Amino acid sequence: MSAADVPAGDTALGIAAAVRSGTRSAVEVVEEHLTAIAARDGELNAFNLVTADQARQAALAIDERVAAGEDPGPLAGVPVALKDNLCTRGVPTTCSSRILEGWRPPYDATVVERLVAAGAVVVGKTNLDEFAMGSSTENSAFGPTRNPHDPSRVPGGSSGGSAAAVAAGFAPVSLGSDTGGSIRQPAALCGVVGVKPTYGAVSRYGLVAFASSLDQVGPFARTVADAAAVLEVIGGHDPRDSTSIPRPAPSLVAELEAGVQGLRVGLVTELCEGEGIEPGVAARVDDAAAALEAAGATVDKVSVPAAVHGLSAYYLIAPAEASSNLARYDGVRYGLRVDAPTTGEMYDRTRTEGFGAEVKRRIMLGTYALSAGYYEAFYGKAQKVRTLIIRDFEAAYEQFDVLLSPTSPTTAFPLGAKTADPLAMYMNDVCTVPSSLAGHPAISVPFGTDESGLPVGVQVMAPALGEPVMFRVAAALEAAAPGRG
């Protein structure tokens, strides 16, 4: 079943409409999803924690509000799963790392506050690559998450638990974070919709930081309309986030029916024809371009030359910022503490036992890139490349309204296939990193399968704050997706 074939009653918008009208109870909806989690999450490991009792209480409160004639909000009764790097008051938030063992945040992330205020019901915290560092959700202290389409394969990462939860029907929508592709790539591998908003369009307050100039919170959903509805709820200015754009969330759901007639779509040569793009993935992107052309868009090739250097720049900038952000995990203030005779040894032992191999690798790489004598050669040069990427995208958007590419160069690969080769793992981000470095929005839309029947995602990119036109194109792709009907 394609994402576009989700029965209306099972979509987030369908559930909310039924709960608000009183034709379905939020308690019944939540119980259905908790039953689905209990039946299959032992196999998939999408959740680090299922908050069943809190979810039932929240659902009951929503039903009481409906009975009293109140409107609980646009996401009334909709179960939502949260990536376990989003702070939740009084609920363990682990980042899938041992180093945050036992930590319960004293506050909610802004996006969590906004979801709850809109009537959504949090059903649990989802697994991720430790501190969001990875592309397969295998770098987790809680063990790997498996792909619902084929449990012998990865769901992608780092938000693999959130993607798998939606793909498996554990929740109609979920939240993830995207630093270099951590929403879009798992969305592609799991056959769901995944959105990275414009940098600053969604508050980062309460998101545990990985790379602060790149991190963004965004939704996973089984339909484009559901993703749009969630982004409308969580977006908009937040004075608690200094990088938050001072403007309200855009209207997106209303844009979905506008179509693509007259829009200009650019196929990014460097991302569509680059090394490592599987033939089955490339074929679906070609099909997507043809579908948009048939729907009235103009499609042509476009070059974004600096995009070929995106991965190299990203894997200097992101680890550099991570090495700074992760310095706070010292065994003193919160989380894991491994005692030792001296403070220095305590730091050393706590971090040695608390961090996994990939996190240690990136901390060391980032610390080296920022060190005296190497700063300008590595970090400084990477920032100059970032500027070139931004300029090349600006030139492309002068000719085109949106850009198109694969989301991931491959479909879901077997568990363990790339864990011994970090560079092969990093290549999974080759198509998603450029728009992250530019701070631009991008969405992955499921568009058919490869020859093995595994989902393929097509990426639609837009200029900063271009979410409305991006969602129009995404809706057109969803409507034309192979297997619909």
Cα(223)–Cα(230) distance, rounded to whole angstroms?
11
Cα(137)–Cα(127) distance, rounded to whole angstroms?
7
Give me the phi and psi of 138, to 5 degrees please.
-100, -15
Element housing 36 (H / E): helix 26-44
- Tell me, yes or no, if 83 is annotated catalytic: yes
- Tell me, yes or no, if 158 is annotated catalytic: yes
Q: Please identify which of the residues 83, 125, 196, 418 carries the catalytic annotation.
A: 83
Contact by Cβ (8 Å): 484, 449? no
Going by C-alpha positions, the residue among 446, 449, 415 that lies closest to residue 134 is 415
Cα(169)–Cα(405) distance, rounded to whole angstroms?
27
- Tell me, yes or no, if 140 is annotated catalytic: no
Handedness of CA 304, 306, 312, 313 (dihedral sign): negative
The number of C-alpha atoms within 13 Å of 177 and in the hemisphere containing its C-beta is 36
Q: Please identify which of the residues 2, 182, 405, 436 carries the catalytic annotation.
A: 182
Cα(455)–Cα(448) distance, rounded to whole angstroms?
6
Cα(354)–Cα(356) distance, rounded to whole angstroms?
7
Give me the phi and psi of 484, to 5 degrees please.
-70, 140
Going by C-alpha positions, the residue among 463, 310, 316 that lies closest to residue 389 is 310
Q: Please identify which of the residues 135, 136, 158, 159 carries the catalytic annotation.
A: 158
Going by C-alpha positions, the residue among 147, 155, 149, 207 that lies closest to residue 177 is 207
Give the number of other Cβ atoms within 10 Å of residue 470's Cβ.
Answer: 27
Catalytic residues: 83, 158, 182
